[in-house]
Structure 1
Amino acid sequence: MSTALPERDGSAAVVTLDRREGPFGEVVLRRRGGHYEIIANGCFLMDTVDGRSERLLVTAALDEMDRTGPVAEPAVLIGGLGVGFSLAHAAAEPRWGRIAVVERESAVIDWHRGGPLAAFSAGALDDPRVEVLHTDLLEHLAGDGGARYHALCLDVDNGPDWTVTDANAGLYGADGLALLRRRLEPGGVLAVWSARPSAAFEEALRAGGFTDVATREVAVARGVPDVVHLARRAR
């Protein structure tokens, strides 16, 4: 039996709800039919049509952690608030003891605090375990005295090979991966969302000292599947 996958309706009317210029360029919130989408610097970033792969980002990280034994009240960092699917999914899991979400665009945070995207983050911003960090992910990772996490779940680009801004490319190279390893607890899990698989990123993870490198796929209506790249910091 085949299952019909959600499909974006290219014929639906598009309405621009908000457009802002920030330190990283333009960010736009649009409504297309009954769904919302975020555009960054003219590049489609994400929409509310189908959140399965964004939820998998969190679920896969937790599953990978459990593979070597459950952790009591683990801490997770979500890189990118986006349309809220990953954060809402994490907040719905009572096992997480601390949930930090990094979002560099003030507009995106506003759209969740009483704006059109509030329904998709499902009240997670008010969860006492949740801390919203309004900062750039690379700056946060490089900060002195930073906390460690049991899982890092990153969805700030369309993938390691398709970044929203040029500066983000540094996140997926040797220096960026070293920062990520430093912020993980021993045995902690890194999960990175991508709109397409990246063999080069898998090799970079292995070269950067990560173990248990794997890729989980989520089929889409057309084209290559969305994926979550997984890796572990050695104990």
Structure 2
Amino acid sequence: MIPWTLLDTAPVPGGEGELRLRRRGAEFSIRLGTVELMNSRISGSEEALATLSCAKIAGRAQPRILIGGLGMGFTLRAALGVLGTKAQIVVAELVPAVVAWARGPMAELFGDSLTDERVRIEVEDVGRVIRSGRGSYDAILLDVDNGPEGLTRDSNGGLYGVEGLRAARAALRPGGVLAVWSCAPDRDFAARLRRTGFHMEEVRTRARGRDGGARHVIWLATRADSPPRRPEAEA
């Protein structure tokens, strides 16, 4: 068997530990310590994040999409494959090295997706991009960390808490969709989506798509027409 080769490492801004990019033949892996965050052979649920979300906003003439987390580009490439020529896709990636890896050792994997005229890459915290984009997006796709229960960065929780979800709702256009990838179900998070003004659908999908693999979760949360009343106190 071909051994793994360590290509590069990168610290996680505001987090603990470091990301490690490894290669074995044509296969790539990004790990945090001993935990594999993504692998180039496993892309089914990340692609589903894009295709399911874009289906929700089909028919919009010039959709504007925000993707939180570049990763290995599975979600970006899937979105490009189903969106029309008038679409705009902003990708917010916190770790500069991940963008460098996409343009360097993983360039063949990304193909021409990073130079597509519909795409803009921002090396930025997606939470900041969301908060600065009121009414800007038809869909926001979050594949950050491992979902609401993050591994790499404590502040990722700010995306998935009540205030983070309110900010996402404000950044969406009427009828827009917030789609969230997670490695596992989370009842509390699903309840927060409903409480913050979303109509929520929970979809189970396989890591390897039709070929099976671990079960992952995608929440498709459509912005409700009117915001919910804020209770005097929230848990």
Same fold, judged at TM 0.5 (above): yes
Identity %, equivalent residues: 39
8 Å Cα contact 1:181/1:233 also seen in 2: yes
Q: 1:233 to 1:18 in 2, by over 3 A?
A: same
User: Are 2:209 and 1:219 aligned?
Assistant: no
User: Are 2:75 and 1:125 aligned?
Assistant: no
8 Å Cα contact 2:66/2:91 also seen in 1: yes
- Which amino acid is the alignment partner of residue 160 of structure 2? Y
Q: Which residue of 2 aligns with 1:3?
A: none
Q: Which residue of 2 aligns with 1:55?
A: 47
- Which amino acid is the alignment partner of residue 22 of structure 2? R
Q: Tell me how far 1:41 sits from its aligned partner.
A: 5.7
Structure 1: stretches of 5+ with no match in the other structure: 1-10
Instruction: Give 1:101-116 correspondences, 5 Å limit.
Output: 101-113=91-103, 115-116=104-105
Q: Tell me how far 1:220 sits from its aligned partner.
A: 4.4
8 Å Cα contact 1:87/1:121 also seen in 2: no
8 Å Cα contact 2:130/2:168 also seen in 1: yes
Q: Tell me how far 1:92 sits from its aligned partner.
A: 2.3
User: Are 2:23 and 1:31 aligned?
Assistant: yes
Aligned counterpart in structure 1 of residue 152 of structure 2, from 164, 175, 178: 164
Q: 1:187 to 1:147 in 2, by over 3 A?
A: closer
TM-score by length of structure 2 reads: 0.85
Instruction: Give 1:78-117 correspondences, 5 Å limit.
Output: 78-95=67-84, 97-113=87-103, 115-117=104-106
Compare 222-231 and 146-155 and name the one that shifted more: 222-231
Q: Which residue of 2 aligns with 1:184?
A: 172
For 1:189 and 1:94, how far apart are their aligned partners in 2?
Answer: 15
Q: Tell me how far 1:147 sits from its aligned partner.
A: 6.0
Q: Which residue of 1 aligns with 2:38?
A: 46
For 1:134 and 1:58, how far apart are their aligned partners in 2?
Answer: 20
Q: Tell me how far 1:39 sits from its aligned partner.
A: 2.0
Structure 2: stretches of 5+ with no match in the other structure: 226-235
Q: 1:63 to 1:93 in 2, by over 3 A?
A: closer
Q: Which residue of 2 aligns with 1:231?
A: 221
TM-score by length of structure 1 reads: 0.85
What is the number of residues matched between the two proteins? 219
Q: Tell me how far 1:199 sits from its aligned partner.
A: 1.8
- Which amino acid is the alignment partner of residue 98 of structure 1? Q
Aligned counterpart in structure 1 of residue 65 of structure 2, from 60, 76, 82: 76
